[in-house]
Structure 1
Amino acid sequence: MRPSPAEIVRTLVAGRLPGIAHVAHRPGPHQVRHVTDPDGRVLLLVPVVSDLAAALRPAGGDSEVALVLDVLDLPPAAGAPSLGRAWVSGWAARLDGDEERRAALDFAAVEPTGDLLDVGTRFRLHRFEVVEARWERGDTVRRIDPEAYAEAEADPLHAVEAELLTDLADHHGTEVAGYLCRQLGLADDAGDAAPRVVRIDRYGLLVTHGRPGARRRVRLAFPRPLQCQAELTRLLHPLVGRHASSPRHADHA
């Protein structure tokens, strides 16, 4: 198994990566702090005095403005492939009162910034339901059904992926290399062709191996999708031992 396109888009727009807002018929684009709430709706934390706040001010008697949020994945390590780019769009409206306070709690659950204490004074929250979603990777752009997007879950490991890769490389490098060699049927003395983990998601590990310039990618699937970092720790601990075996299977990426 591997992440579905809808899961990848939910992961990218979850709020851990920088976002760019494009507001219809307004100057821009604008950098924006954003998260998604449990239903996949996008929350924008906007300074009251800013170009973005001016762009989000509806014209005439409208209460909403059309907006596209653009989020590009940042690979967590050198040599790691990007997950691509997500584009989600909808009609953004400013929140007020109890609705804004509840949205601030949703925002804090993902990104507990101190600026949320000033919501209603120096900052305002805007929200939109995703009515169109697209996933761009390489030269391919794929449309994602909005219902599939809403039902998907962001990957629980994405926010700590870089930290996990660094820990595996710095503190368990020898054990991980040995484990990967056993799983892929490679010699333990592979040298600069030795396999290494370049991405981690809830479904498995993406591994590269081979000589520079001719490296290959292989996925090693977990026995089941993981729900949190603690499950990954419990799963990997026995697998990187000297004599570990695994129920995982390899799949060329």
Structure 2
Amino acid sequence: MQPSPAEVARTLAAGRLPGNAHIACRPGPHRVRHAADAAGRVLMLVPAGGELAESLRPADGADDVAVVLDVQDAPPVAGSPTLGRVWVSGWAAPLTGVEARQAAQDFVEIDPVGELLDVGRGQVLFRMDPAEVRLEAAGRITDIDPDEYAAAEPDPLQAVEWDLLTDLADHHVPEMAEFIRRQLADSGHRGPDGPPPRVVRLDRYGFVVALGTPGREYRARLAFPRPVADRADLARLLHPVLCRRCAERATAP
């Protein structure tokens, strides 16, 4: 099991990675602070009166502006494979009143920045309804149905992936190495000799491990028994692996 293209696109566009806005018939791109609401609509938090806000203002007689949000993955640790790059295209319009307040609440769930307190005065929220979604990953570009993108959920571990990988690398190398080698052996594969295998990516479905020596590494994906819901759920799932005493009790006659 692994994330679908729609899930990867929603994870990249969620708002935890830097994004650039390309606006039709305007110079750019512009770095933009953004987040996606529960329906996958892109919210852009923009300083009022700035160049980006002016570029996003609909022309006279128009209700919205054509925009492309471009977000590229930032691998969390050295050796991590990239999830790729997503382009979300659609039509953006400024929000006011109740809509702006609701959008600010949606935004704060992803990125609780202080500028949200200034929406309606020094900051403006724009919302883009996705009309086209494209994902570039592993050298391929995939067109994703906007309804599938909207229905997908971003990965719940994205915000804490770096913390989790760092904790495993700092405190649990022997336990994880033993577990990974056992899993590979059970699947009929034998990992290469060399340093202990490393976990280099995590998501709700499993993790990617790097094995072998530098320059001769290869990667393997190991799936969890079930998708995890959040960090606490992952901790419960991995507890028998990381707790040697628990593992010894589980295997004792």
Q: TM-score, normalised by structure 1?
A: 0.92
Match of 1:249 in 2: none
Alignment size in residue pairs:
244
Distance 1:67 1:103 in 2: 18
Change (3 A) 1:220 1:244: farther
Q: Which residue of 2 is the match for residue 198 of structure 1?
A: 200
Match of 1:106 in 2: 106
How far off its partner does 1:66 sit? Answer: 0.2
Decide which of 216, 220, 223 is 1:221's aligned counterpart: 223
Letter of the 2:199 partner, please give it.
Answer: V
* Distance in 2 (alpha carbons) for counterparts of 1:130 and 1:156: 22
Structure 2 distance, partners of 1:46, 1:54, is 10
Deviation at 1:189, TM superposition (A): 11
Amino acid at match of 2:48: V
Counterpart residue number, 1:134: 134
Offset, 1:183: 1.8
Q: Distance in 1 between matches of 2:83 and 2:191?
A: 30
Judging changes above 3 Å, is the alpha-carbon distance between structure 1 residues 131 and 95 closer, same or farther for their aligned structure 2 residues? same
Q: Is the 8 A contact 1:204 1:222 kept in 2?
A: yes
- Look up the match of 1:33: 33
* Unpaired stretches in structure 1, ≥5 consecutive residues: 246-253
Q: 1:45-72 CA distances to partner (integer Å, 9 max, x unpaired)?
A: 0000321111101112102000000000
Shift of 1:78: 0.2
Question: Does structure 2 retain, via aligned residues, the 8 Å contact 1:178–1:188?
Answer: no
Q: CA deviation at 1:182?
A: 2.0
CA distance in structure 2 between the aligned counterparts of 1:224 and 1:196, rounded to whole angstroms: 21
More displaced, 15-24 or 138-147?
138-147
TM-fit CA distance, 1:213: 1.9
**Secondary structure of the corresponding residue to residue 80 of structure 1:** coil
Assess if the C-alpha contact under 8 Å between 1:16 and 1:35 holds in 2: yes
Q: Equivalent residue for 1:207? A: 209
Deviation at 1:244, TM superposition (A): 4.2
The question of whether the paired residues in 2 share the 8 Å contact of 1:179 and 1:241 is answered with: no
Q: List aligned pairs for 1:40-59, cutoff 5 A.
A: 40-59=40-59
Root-mean-square deviation (Å)? 1.8
Q: Structure 1 residue 73 and structure 2 residue 73: aligned?
A: yes
Structure 2: 5+ residue stretches without partners? 249-253
User: Aligned partners of 2:134 and 2:88: how far apart in 1?
Assistant: 6
Q: What percent of counterpart residues are identical? A: 58
Task: Confirm or deny: 8 A CA contact 2:194 2:213 kept in the other structure.
Answer: no
1:112-166 Cα shifts (integer Å, max 9, x gaps): 1111110000001000111100001243111000110011000000111011000
Q: Distance in 2 between matches of 1:138 and 1:169?
A: 26
Aligned residue identity for 1:199? R
Tell me the amino acid that sits aligned with residue 121 of structure 1: R
Could you say what secondary structure the match of 1:224 adopts?
Answer: coil
Moved more, 211-220 or 112-121: 211-220
1:98 aligned counterpart, secondary structure: helix
Are the aligned partners of 2:71 and 2:85 in contact in 1 as well (CA < 8 Å)? Answer: yes
Change in Cα spacing, 1:125 to 1:188, as seen in structure 2 (3 Å) is closer
CA distance in 1, matches of 2:221, 2:139: 22
